[in-house]
Structure formats: C-alpha cells, structure tokens
Amino acid sequence: MAAPKIFITRPIPETVLIQIQAECDVDMWHTSAILPPIAEKIPPLDGLMTYGHEPVTAEMFDTSPNLKVVSVVGVGYDHVDEDAARERGITLGHTPGVLSDTTADMTWALLLAAARNVVPAYNHVQVEKQWHYYDPNILWGYDVHHSTIGIVGMGRIGYAVAKRALAFDMKVLYYKRNRRQDWEEELGIEYTDLDHLLKVSDFVTLHVPLTEETTHMIGKVEFELMKPTAILVNIARGPVVDHGALYDALRDGQIAGAALDVTEPEPINTDHPLLDLNNLIIAPHLGSATIQTRMKMATMAMENLFAGLKDERLPYGVVQPPEL
C-alpha cells in the first residue's frame, strides 16, 4: 500500500519529521518567509499538518477527496473551518495543555516588560546609547505586585497566568462564560463580569479563543471602561482586539500601555500606525515558542496525524472520526 501523502506547512523539528517520514510520503514547505501554498498542495493529500495560521477552508476540502485529518501544531484552530471538516468526516486535532505554562510565561514577560519599561530601557542604553549619567527621574513604570489583574478567558492558559499572579501578591479577577468555583476556591480568585473587570483591573490579559463572539471583544467601549493607568496584554488572537480602537486608546492616554503577541493581520503591516507608538510592545507570535514546548507540540501533532490517518480517535482531537 502506498504511504499516505502529507503536507506540512512549515519546517518542524527534525526528530519529529524523521518519525513522520518513516510512515508517510512527506512534502514539507521549506521556509517561513513564503506562505505555504495550501490550496495548491491539498488535492492529493491524506493528511495536512498546519504549523502556522493560514486559513484551511471548505473550498480546499472540496478539492481533496482523500483527506482524512488536519493536524494543527498549536492549540488555537480558528484558521481551520471546523464545521466544514466535521461535515466531510475529516478529523481535526490540536495540541492543548502542553503549551499553557509556556504561553503563561510569555504573558508575564510581556506584562512585566510593559509595566517596567524594559523595551524603552533597552532602546535608551543599547540602541540610542543615551545612558550618560544616572537619572532617577526617567522610565518610571507601574507596580505589578499588589495590583489587580483581570484575566479574560480563563481556561488552561488563563489558569496558569492566575497561578503566577499569586506570587506577585496580586488580586486576581477573571471572566469567562462558565464560572469555575473550584478554581476560585483553589486559588482565591474572584469571578466578575467583563465590564467590572475592565473598570478595576491594573492589568488585563486576554486568553479567549478567536470566535465570532470574541472578535473585537475589546474595542472602543471597553477601552473607555479601563483605567488610564491600565496595561492590556493580548496573547490570544489579534482580532480579539479592535486595533483602530487600541490605537486611539494608546494615543489618547485612555490606557497606559499594551503588549501584543498577536496582531490583525499577522504579521502586522510595517506601516501600521500602531508601530509608531512608544507605549506598545509587539512580539511576533512567540507565546509557545520555546525549544522544549515546540518539540512537545510537534510530537502531539504527529500523534494526531497518525491516528487520523488510521481512522482512529485522535488523542488530542477537536473533530473525531464520525463513528467514534
């Protein structure tokens, strides 16, 4: 029997690639600099592994009669048409959990950097070479310890962010649609509605999946509720925040600062006005980007891929085979 045909949309770690190559006929897109031509590659495939966020659409599925499985290297799968996959009996897998602590660490890296002016300090000393004398009156930031953090979309990653907040003696508020009283008891955190969270939080971090409901969840009205000293961290998906409203809020001092790991579009256009603001930090979607975690994600994605090719239940499945 011929080996199943697989397309991987970006280079994955070699050790995992070798294992996939042992069982499959692998075509792996060679670069991150040019977008993978998924529509062109998909027709003969049995399996697709997406390592990136290019859309995988119903129209693409319709050109690919043998496709059994889409395996996402990542937890967010908003770029794949889940309903269209289900309707066609195509399984869909992702890599939840394994990246939660790593993404929570990056949330804190961004939050602390924004609160304590780490990027302006770097620019001052190393880029502009302006550190000629000690000046006690530059680059004052905001205290993180004993402040209030509001976690929007408290699931796996939000929970890991909350645990870290406790070490900073922070008051932790959270908002999601379904309250978790067990977590409230375990961590001593408080559930609140979104408006109240935005009004009282010194730091607001976003961890919702991108859905119709969460698209532009944070916009003009929400920024108006926030404190002028507040800092927003978006490490969820770019479109969760209305970037026009964010620009206005940062420019007009409606909030003090923001840090984004994700943007709309991605990458953000190099002439986007947000890039000219000095109270904003943007990272190029690094939430899960550590050596250890990317290895684990690739391994989980491989396990989903192999299961899907055998019509078996995916170990980390979003859409399972219809009969299971």
Binding of ligand NAP by 172 (CB under 6 A) = no
Q: What string of DSSP letters covers 180-226? A: -HHHHHHHT-EE--HHHHHHH-SEEEE-PPP-TTTTT-BSHHHHHHS
C-alpha dist (Å) from residue 167 to 108, 141, 164, 183, 204: 12, 19, 6, 16, 17
Other C-beta atoms lying within 10 Å of the C-beta of residue 281 = 22
**Which entry of 53, 94, 243, 285 is annotated as an active-site residue?**
285
Other C-beta atoms lying within 10 Å of the C-beta of residue 186 = 12
The stretch among 15-23, 204-212, 221-229, 244-252 that binds ligand NAP (CB under 6 A) is 204-212
The angle, 0 to 180 degrees and rounded to 10, between the axes of the packed helices 100-115 and 156-167 is 50
What region does 21 belong to: left with phi over 0, alpha with psi -120 to 50, or beta?
alpha
- Known catalytic membership, residue 312: no
Number of H helices, E strands in the chain: 12, 13
Query: Which one, 41 or 237, has the nearer CB to ligand NAP?
Result: 237
CA distance 304 to 307: 5
Smallest gap from Cβ 109 to ligand NAP, in A, equals 12
Smallest gap from Cβ 210 to ligand NAP, in A, equals 6
**Whole-angstrom Cα Rg for the chain:** 21
Smallest gap from Cβ 303 to ligand NAP, in A, equals 18
Member of 93, 96, 150, 219 binding ligand NAP (CB under 6 A) = 96
Binding of ligand NAP by 103 (CB under 6 A) = yes
Strands (E) in the chain, as ranges, are: 5-8, 25-28, 47-50, 69-72, 91-93, 148-152, 171-175, 190-191, 203-206, 231-234, 257-260, 280-282, 317-319
- Restricted to residues 47-76, the positions that interact with ligand NAP (CB under 6 A) are 75-76
- Known catalytic membership, residue 177: no
- Known catalytic membership, residue 184: no
Binding of ligand NAP by 173 (CB under 6 A) = no
**Which entry of 53, 94, 207, 237 is annotated as an active-site residue?**
237
Smallest gap from Cβ 102 to ligand NAP, in A, equals 8
Smallest gap from Cβ 287 to ligand NAP, in A, equals 2
Member of 171, 176, 196, 272 binding ligand NAP (CB under 6 A) = 176
- Restricted to residues 240-269, the positions that interact with ligand NAP (CB under 6 A) are 261-262
CA distance 153 to 136: 38
**Which entry of 59, 87, 266, 313 is annotated as an active-site residue?**
266
Smallest gap from Cβ 33 to ligand NAP, in A, equals 19
Binding of ligand NAP by 235 (CB under 6 A) = yes
Q: Which residues bind ligand NAP (CB under 6 A)?
A: 75-76, 96, 99-100, 103, 153-158, 176-178, 207-211, 213-214, 235-237, 261-262, 285, 287-288
Catalytic residue list: 237, 266, 285
